Amino acid sequence: MHLCRSCSETLTPIINFGTMPIANYFREHSDPPPATFEMQALVCLGCSLFQLGDQPLPEDMFNGYYPFYTGLSKHMRQHFSSAFESILELNQDKDKDIFIVEIGCNDGTFLENALKNGVRHLGVDPSSNVVEKCQSKGVNAVKGFFGKEMAEKIIQNHGQANYVFAANVICHIPNVNEIFINIGKLLEHDGVFVFEEPYLFSMLELVSFDQLYDEHVFMFSATSVKNIAKLNNLELFDVEKQQTHGGSMRYFVGKIGQHQISRRLEECLNYEDESGVLNLDIYKKFAENCNKKKTELNNLLDSLKNAGKKVAGYAATSKSTTILNFCEIDSNLISFISDSTPDKIGKITPGSGIPIITHEEMIIRKPDYLVLFAWNHQREILSKEDRLVNLGISWIVFVPEVKILD
Ligand code: DWN
The string of pLDDT tens digits covering residues 190-202 is 999 999 999 999 9
Q: Is the pLDDT of residue 399 over 90?
A: yes
Atom of ligand 1 lying closest to residue 74 CA = 32
Query: Are the CB atoms for 195 and 250 separated by under 8 Å?
Result: yes
- Taking the centre of ligand 1 as the mean of its atom positions, its distance from the CA of residue 375, in whole angstroms, is 10
In 3D, which of 375, 401, 393, 399 has the Cα closest to residue 310? 393
Task: Say yes or no: CB of residue 319 within 6 Å of ligand 1.
Answer: yes
Tell me, what's the pLDDT at 76? 96
Tell me, what's the pLDDT at 63? 75
Task: Say yes or no: CB of residue 339 within 6 Å of ligand 1.
Answer: yes
**Average of per-residue pLDDT across 141-153:** 97
What's the mean per-residue pLDDT of the chain? 96
Which backbone phi and psi does 372 adopt, to 5 degrees?
A: -85, 100
d(CA 388, CA 370): 9
d(CA 106, CA 62): 11
**Helix 222-231 vs helix 176-186: crossing angle, to nearest 10:** 70
CA 167-252-190 angle, to 5 degrees, is 120
Atom of ligand 1 lying closest to residue 320 CA = 13
- Taking the centre of ligand 1 as the mean of its atom positions, its distance from the CA of residue 26, in whole angstroms, is 13
> Do β-strands 218-219 and 36-43 pair in parallel, antiparallel, or remain unpaired?
unpaired
DSSP three-state, residue 384: helix
Tell me, what's the pLDDT at 93? 86
Q: Is the pLDDT of residue 207 over 90?
A: yes
From residue 114, how far is each of 101, 129, 139, 148 by CA, in Å? 10, 21, 8, 25
Question: Which of 84-98, 137-151, 214-228, 274-288 shows the lowest per-residue confidence on average (mean pLDDT)?
Answer: 84-98
Alpha carbon dihedral 318, 321, 323, 327, in 10-degree steps, equals: 180
DSSP 8-state symbol, 106: T
Q: Is the pLDDT of residue 219 over 80?
A: yes
**Average of per-residue pLDDT across 5-22:** 98
Residue 372 CB neighbour total at 10 angstroms: 22
**Average of per-residue pLDDT across 88-97:** 90
Q: Is the pLDDT of residue 271 over 90?
A: yes
Task: Say yes or no: CB of residue 68 within 6 Å of ligand 1.
Answer: yes
Q: Is the pLDDT of residue 19 over 90?
A: yes
Atom of ligand 1 lying closest to residue 167 CA = 4
Q: Is the pLDDT of residue 64 over 80?
A: no
- Taking the centre of ligand 1 as the mean of its atom positions, its distance from the CA of residue 319, in whole angstroms, is 8
DSSP 8-state symbol, 223: H
**Average of per-residue pLDDT across 75-104:** 95
- Taking the centre of ligand 1 as the mean of its atom positions, its distance from the CA of residue 307, in whole angstroms, is 31
Residue with the smallest CA separation from ligand 1 atom 1 is 168
Q: Is the pLDDT of residue 135 over 90?
A: yes
- Taking the centre of ligand 1 as the mean of its atom positions, its distance from the CA of residue 122, in whole angstroms, is 24
Tell me, what's the pLDDT at 92? 86
Task: Say yes or no: CB of residue 238 within 6 Å of ligand 1.
Answer: no
DSSP three-state, residue 216: coil
Helix%, strand%, coil% for the chain, nearest 5: 40, 25, 35
What are the residue ranges of helices labelled H in 124-262? 128-137, 148-158, 176-186, 200-206, 222-231
> Burial code of 338-355, b = ≥16 C-beta within 10 A, e = fewer?
bbbbebbbebbbbbbebb
Residue 336 C-beta-side C-alpha neighbours within 13 Å: 20
**Average of per-residue pLDDT across 57-69:** 83
> Do β-strands 187-198 and 248-255 pair in parallel, antiparallel, or remain unpaired?
antiparallel
- Taking the centre of ligand 1 as the mean of its atom positions, its distance from the CA of residue 250, in whole angstroms, is 19
d(CA 137, CA 143): 15
Tell me, what's the pLDDT at 359? 98
**Average of per-residue pLDDT across 68-93:** 94
CA 80-81-83 angle, to 5 degrees, is 60
Atom of ligand 1 lying closest to residue 317 CA = 12
Strand partners, 161: 187
**Helix 263-275 vs helix 222-231: crossing angle, to nearest 10:** 110
Query: Are the CB atoms for 120 and 99 separated by under 8 Å?
Result: yes
